[in-house]
Structure 1
Amino acid sequence: MLKLKNQTFLVTNHGRFYKFSTAAAIVDTTITHTHIQEVSQPRFLPSLDPKFYITALLSSRNVSHIRQVHAQLAVNGVVQNLTVTNKLIYMYAQHKVLGDAYALFCDMEEKDAVTWSVMVGGFVKGGDFTNGFGTFRELIRCGVAPDNYTLPFVIRACRDLLDLKMGRLIHDVVLKHGLLSDNFVCAALVDMYAKCRVIDDARQLFDNMPHRDLVTWTVIIGGFAECSNASESLVLFDRMVDEGVVPDKIAMGTIVNACAKFGAMHKARLVHDYICRNKFSLDVILGTAMIDMYAKCGCVDSAREIFDRMQVKNVITWSAMIAAYGYHGRGREALNIFDMMLSSGVLPNAITFISLLYACSHSGLIQEGLRFFSLMWDEFSVRADVKHYTCMVDLLGRAGKLDEALNLAESMAVEKDEGLWSALLGACRIHGNLDLAERAASSLLELQPQNSGHYILLSNIYARAGRWKEVAKMRNLMTQRRLKKISSSSWIEVGDKNYQFSVGDRTHLQSENIYAMLKSLSHKLELAGYVPDTNFVLHDVDEEVKVHMLYTHSEKLAIAFGLIATADGTPIRITKNLRVCGDCHTFSKFISAITQRVIIVRDANRFHHFREGTCSCGDYW
């Protein structure tokens, strides 16, 4: 039973050929005899050699050609050849004609492991995961042993769906059939666990693999970076090179992205040197990744050097450079890059405008931001989504235009998400608008009731207003819901190592020297005019206790250690997991003046470059 190009079906019966025309894709056995007309055998090329048909299938340029070969197979009786039929199913699947592939699959009286693999793989590659899993279950029920071709396909489906439960079931099947030692299967499992953010399981499988190829190394390195453990990614990269595995451009792109997440300038320089030594060309993918790496390691000028050296730039490259200037607070330069982009003939996309609006927001460029928001659709036919609206709410909110920000949020046609309400709540924190803060927090807690950060932010707003009963209420609510506050941590890069500090930390080997340095600095700061801002101590305690608590903030401990451990005149590079508080911001400005040191702080939102008593953000962050 075959569907031909002209919608004619051929049915063979004891050597006779019948035809009928129908719009249906499958012939039903209830079709009456009046619908069928006997015809003479079509003039197909007679051949009983399976290689002839395999060659014809491989040279098929479209579905029509495949169906013509299919017809010849049926007429000449070769369709019963398992190798040929498997290739036919494969070709249908390759051209995403899964209905025809599955109809042929179901009609087959004999199937081997290749047949099942081709059908499962065809469904998964075509994005039909439901039928892919269903066919795999049927394979298991039929007692067919899955092989190292079938299993990676179903594991990939689990990865793409982030279906950890199904992934673990497939892992059990792998163990049952003794295929865990197979590199293809094990690498697929490592990839699945890494993408599902179960990185410990991925690492255990990886470490037990008898042989690890470049793809597997790349997967595990990228997995650790995605799971917020970029430092381990860098360790694994060094181990990979030591074991003689030579990275390709994809692997280098992965390690560059890990450097960007980690924010370690020393490692970024080493990776850059490796790229230069091995003469990797700065194509669009690798070059754009390096722009992002240098920008997120605190050196936007190095990012610009990479950008200027690239021979070919696409819209992602231009957008990355705009974003780099944006989170370093250099909004005007971001706008200049946008003008250059237009002059080069590259049209902006949605991501470009997110980068632009973010740059305007963090540089106080209100009118420019409003203009770009209007231009998006009017001149470039880019429709605003919730991220663009979030940038605009942030832009207006930071500038104190809370009513305009709220009106924009209420008038937007797209669905509001937690990012938009978080931007509005952050603006309320800056400007102390309690009523609007409560409204924004209420919407946030509906969307993300288990996110402790929302409770903390509202609690901090209450504390700034001296409303301690409400502060206690929020903390009790967190206790009832078993939520924990995210503790403030800061990391400082000294040489090729990173050191972590938490609030009031005394675990460092040089703790005595660090606190002695802070005490020494306090006298110089007082003479320079620094007064601790105890409004940023969000506890109902005595003023003296508040001052002491301020001096033990994690970034201050990191700065004190940096002054001890690094040479005079060298920058101090710090990464913080939360937003820098106002007092630490002021403290850092004074320290940069009295010590003549550049202090670069990467917080949860942006970069701050403190130099000679000023900050690159212009106190607007």
Structure 2
Amino acid sequence: MLSSVTLSHLPPYHSVPRTTTSENLRTFNSPFELKQVHAQLIKTGTPLSTLPLTRVGFVCALNSSFSYAQRIFECVEKPEIVVWNSCLRIFAESDSPTDAISFFYRLRQFAVLPDHFTCSFVLKACARSLDMYSGIVVHVYIEKLGFQSNVILQNMIVNLYAVCGAMGDARLLFEKMSQRDVVTWNIMITQMIKRKDIDGAYDLFSRMPERSIRSWTLMIAGYVQCGKPKEAISLFLEMEKAGQKANEVTVVAVLTACADLCALDLGRRVHEYSNQSGFQRNNRISNTLIDMYVKCGCLEDASRVFDETQERTIVSWSAMIAGFAMHGQGGEALKLYGEMIQTGMKPNDVTFVGLLHACSHMGLVEKGREFFSCMTRVYNIQPKIEHYGCMVDLFSRAGLLQEAHEFITNMPIKPNGVIWGAVLGGCRVHKNIKLAEEAIKHISELDPLNDGYYVVLSNVYAEAGRWEEVAKIRKLMKDQGVKKSPGWSSITVDGVVHEFVAGDQTHPQAEEIFKVWEKLLVKMKLKGYVPNTSVILLDVEEKEKEKFLYRHSEKLALVFGLMNTRPGIPIRIMKNLRVCEDCHATLKLLSAIENREIIVRDRNRFHCFKDGVCNCRDYW
């Protein structure tokens, strides 16, 4: 029998004139009620065509009254398959698409010949319920009935096989299709991207005879999802040259790529295009803009977008709170949280990650404890591994290494490599070799190929002058096939990304960069700069250490930025590792000497250097 939920998809019956039936029979929800209405129509001589035929079919569809509905349909001119198709469509789009499949088998049992609409509705139901077997049955009917030239049905079959995991069958049918449209290609590209086969997806994309905006957007978003923002932006620029206009989904994908690459100029241009296109009310675009500006080091712009957002969601609030935390403005993050609570908005787990980060970067241990307790006690949010990681990081940065260790021991979930890595980082800052050695034992099991942790332990030994242990760590890395990732920094000038590694001499302006650095070094030393060679953890002469120190990638990127941007323009640098103490001191000093704002996004946070001061307050 049909459920009441399913019947609610149909409008109430009002087609029978009041003169032909009593008030309580103006609607019917069962075969019995239908027969009462039918009898009244016969008595009054009212044509059966006045019945709402779809409702007739609907109440008779999955029970023993199927043949009764057929007899009614024989009395009207409308072909019965049209009525049954209307029922199938409602079933297929309902919360129970399997009803459509069951109903299709009932149609075949009563020898009702399906048409191409029938097949399309059932294929939709099969895809929604992942019923590949029934989909194959429909595919066979399509072949028998001669519908194989119908590109819409062929597309639905390709999609069905793909969503059910039979990509080989989907690809085989795709290649055999005598006719394809842009939807066919988009289906295959979508499914390949879902399976992380971005190269295969691009191969299909490059072969498309015609591309829609959806085609471009699929590939751009696919590159972003697969961690290839450069390729995403390159494809977007190609799309613009092809004359395609971005839609709201495209804008979100491109802004996400801009955030990953710190491509501020393009991000601003896309923001302007979004406003001109009337996308301001799209919350997802607003939230992505906040994230983009935050990750590009433009906290003021992010705040402006947040303030202009008319309908703020928890995503909007959480993104802005996280932004303040990343930029070392923990006080603003906590203040914004207070404003959010006053509006009646309830925090979620992401909100608390931002709050705990803010506490960690400011050393607010007690406030962090309070928020962690508040999660479950007030909002019934169960902490995830990210929240435990934030707490361990908070304790470790503050030098409470024993408390961090006890916290890990008492965790109800198994700690991962990131959590032990936070302890290891604290051990380096606070020079606790014993706990560092314990942390690396856990890390070697949980995340054995992550070079960063081995490097940190090596640095702990080097700072203690234990060079034999340093050599052992390097040998261990070599034996396990772990290679040290080179430190790099990038800077974007006039839309072109320039990357530097430590000691880089490959850049076309390398020689000039070194000359300018020497001049800046003279100015710095006059201001009291003394190179901090303790950060060069190599057993070499002091002069050699200074040489390594002066060639750190962020220094090279900064000099390049000073050479190639107008005075007064902020310099924005991305770095894949933590900023070392000497580079931090250098950037503070040069921000005052050159009267420049310097924003560096390192692995953990943003450092904003201005007038000789960093927003991290030297706590990072």
Give the shorter-chain TM-score range. 0.7 to 0.9
Aligned partner of 2:68 in structure 1 is: 75
The 1:55/1:264 distance shift into structure 2, 3 A limit, reads farther
The 1:535/1:188 distance shift into structure 2, 3 A limit, reads farther
Find out whether 1:497 has 2:496 as its counterpart: yes
Q: Deviations over 1:536-590 (max 9, x none)?
A: 2233333322221121111111011111111222211111122222222122112
The 1:429/1:69 distance shift into structure 2, 3 A limit, reads same
Q: Report deviation, 1:200.
A: 2.6
The 1:585/1:150 distance shift into structure 2, 3 A limit, reads same
Find out whether 1:356 has 2:355 as its counterpart: yes
- DSSP-derived class of the 1:499 partner: strand
Q: Deviations over 1:168-223 (max 9, x none)?
A: 663344224456x4322321222333344433322222222122112222111112
Q: Deviations over 1:257-294 (max 9, x none)?
A: 22222212222221222223333224322211111111
Q: Report deviation, 1:498.
A: 1.7
Distance, in Å, in 1 between the alignment partners of 2:473 and 2:544 is: 23
Aligned partner of 2:24 in structure 1 is: none
Distance, in Å, in 2 between the alignment partners of 1:560 and 1:54 is: 82
Aligned partner of 1:186 in structure 2 is: 185
The 1:100/1:229 distance shift into structure 2, 3 A limit, reads closer
Contact 2:62 2:103 (C-alpha < 8 Å) held by counterparts: no
Aligned AA for 2:157? T
Contact 2:161 2:169 (C-alpha < 8 Å) held by counterparts: no
The 1:531/1:115 distance shift into structure 2, 3 A limit, reads farther
Aligned AA for 1:348? P
Q: Deviations over 1:391-427 (max 9, x none)?
A: 1111111111111112222212234333322322222
Find out whether 1:125 has 2:128 as its counterpart: yes
The 1:297/1:54 distance shift into structure 2, 3 A limit, reads farther
Contact 1:53 1:73 (C-alpha < 8 Å) held by counterparts: no
Distance, in Å, in 1 between the alignment partners of 2:594 and 2:49 is: 81
- DSSP-derived class of the 1:619 partner: coil
Larger deviation, residues 149-158 vs 385-394: 149-158
The 1:151/1:464 distance shift into structure 2, 3 A limit, reads farther
Aligned AA for 1:174? F
- DSSP-derived class of the 1:238 partner: helix
Contact 1:53 1:69 (C-alpha < 8 Å) held by counterparts: no
Q: Report deviation, 1:66.
A: 4.2
Distance, in Å, in 1 between the alignment partners of 2:237 and 2:396 is: 45
Aligned partner of 2:269 in structure 1 is: 270
Q: How many residues align?
A: 566
Aligned partner of 1:22 in structure 2 is: none
The 1:70/1:521 distance shift into structure 2, 3 A limit, reads same
Distance, in Å, in 2 between the alignment partners of 1:551 and 1:363 is: 29
Larger deviation, residues 602-611 vs 215-224: 215-224
Contact 1:5 1:67 (C-alpha < 8 Å) held by counterparts: no
Unaligned runs of 5+ residues in structure 2 are 5-31, 42-47, 74-78
Aligned partner of 1:207 in structure 2 is: 206
The 1:331/1:123 distance shift into structure 2, 3 A limit, reads farther
Distance, in Å, in 1 between the alignment partners of 2:407 and 2:561 is: 44
Q: Report deviation, 1:510.
A: 0.8
Contact 1:54 1:84 (C-alpha < 8 Å) held by counterparts: no
Aligned partner of 1:247 in structure 2 is: 246
The 1:246/1:553 distance shift into structure 2, 3 A limit, reads same
The 1:175/1:588 distance shift into structure 2, 3 A limit, reads same
The 1:545/1:195 distance shift into structure 2, 3 A limit, reads farther
Q: Name the % identity.
A: 36
- DSSP-derived class of the 1:148 partner: helix
The 1:86/1:469 distance shift into structure 2, 3 A limit, reads farther
Distance, in Å, in 2 between the alignment partners of 1:436 and 1:168 is: 51
Aligned AA for 2:128? K
Aligned partner of 1:149 in structure 2 is: 156
Distance, in Å, in 2 between the alignment partners of 1:143 and 1:514 is: 69
Aligned partner of 1:28 in structure 2 is: none
Aligned partner of 2:603 in structure 1 is: 604
Aligned partner of 2:559 in structure 1 is: 560
The 1:99/1:311 distance shift into structure 2, 3 A limit, reads closer
- Matches for 1:506-585 after TM superposition, within 5 Å: 506-585=505-584
- Matches for 1:324-339 after TM superposition, within 5 Å: 324-339=323-338
Distance, in Å, in 2 between the alignment partners of 1:232 and 1:417 is: 31
Distance, in Å, in 2 between the alignment partners of 1:347 and 1:398 is: 29
The 1:341/1:457 distance shift into structure 2, 3 A limit, reads same
Q: Report deviation, 1:150.
A: 2.3
Aligned AA for 2:162? I
The 1:283/1:96 distance shift into structure 2, 3 A limit, reads closer
Distance, in Å, in 2 between the alignment partners of 1:568 and 1:239 is: 32
Contact 2:123 2:156 (C-alpha < 8 Å) held by counterparts: no
Distance, in Å, in 2 between the alignment partners of 1:200 and 1:570 is: 39
The 1:195/1:480 distance shift into structure 2, 3 A limit, reads farther
- DSSP-derived class of the 2:279 partner: coil
Aligned partner of 1:171 in structure 2 is: 171
Aligned AA for 1:208? R
Aligned partner of 2:16 in structure 1 is: none
Q: Deviations over 1:142-162 (max 9, x none)?
A: 99567111222443455xxxx
Distance, in Å, in 2 between the alignment partners of 1:168 and 1:476 is: 45
Distance, in Å, in 2 between the alignment partners of 1:441 and 1:212 is: 51
Cα RMSD for the two superposed structures: 3.3
The 1:540/1:172 distance shift into structure 2, 3 A limit, reads farther
Contact 2:489 2:553 (C-alpha < 8 Å) held by counterparts: yes
- DSSP-derived class of the 1:404 partner: helix
Contact 2:126 2:160 (C-alpha < 8 Å) held by counterparts: no
- Matches for 1:212-223 after TM superposition, within 5 Å: 212-223=211-222
Larger deviation, residues 244-253 vs 485-494: 244-253
Aligned partner of 1:342 in structure 2 is: 341
Distance, in Å, in 2 between the alignment partners of 1:460 and 1:90 is: 66
Q: Report deviation, 1:617.
A: 0.7
The 1:258/1:70 distance shift into structure 2, 3 A limit, reads same
Aligned AA for 2:488? S
The 1:153/1:503 distance shift into structure 2, 3 A limit, reads farther
Aligned partner of 1:431 in structure 2 is: 430
Aligned AA for 1:151? V
The TM-score, its normalising length taken from structure 2, stands at: 0.82
Contact 1:517 1:560 (C-alpha < 8 Å) held by counterparts: yes
Unaligned runs of 5+ residues in structure 1 are 7-38, 159-165
Larger deviation, residues 148-157 vs 259-268: 148-157
Aligned partner of 1:20 in structure 2 is: none
Distance, in Å, in 1 between the alignment partners of 2:250 and 2:241 is: 15
Aligned partner of 1:32 in structure 2 is: none
Distance, in Å, in 2 between the alignment partners of 1:359 and 1:344 is: 21
Q: Report deviation, 1:116.
A: 6.5
Aligned partner of 1:261 in structure 2 is: 260
Aligned AA for 1:572? I
Distance, in Å, in 2 between the alignment partners of 1:414 and 1:379 is: 21
Q: Report deviation, 1:500.
A: 1.0
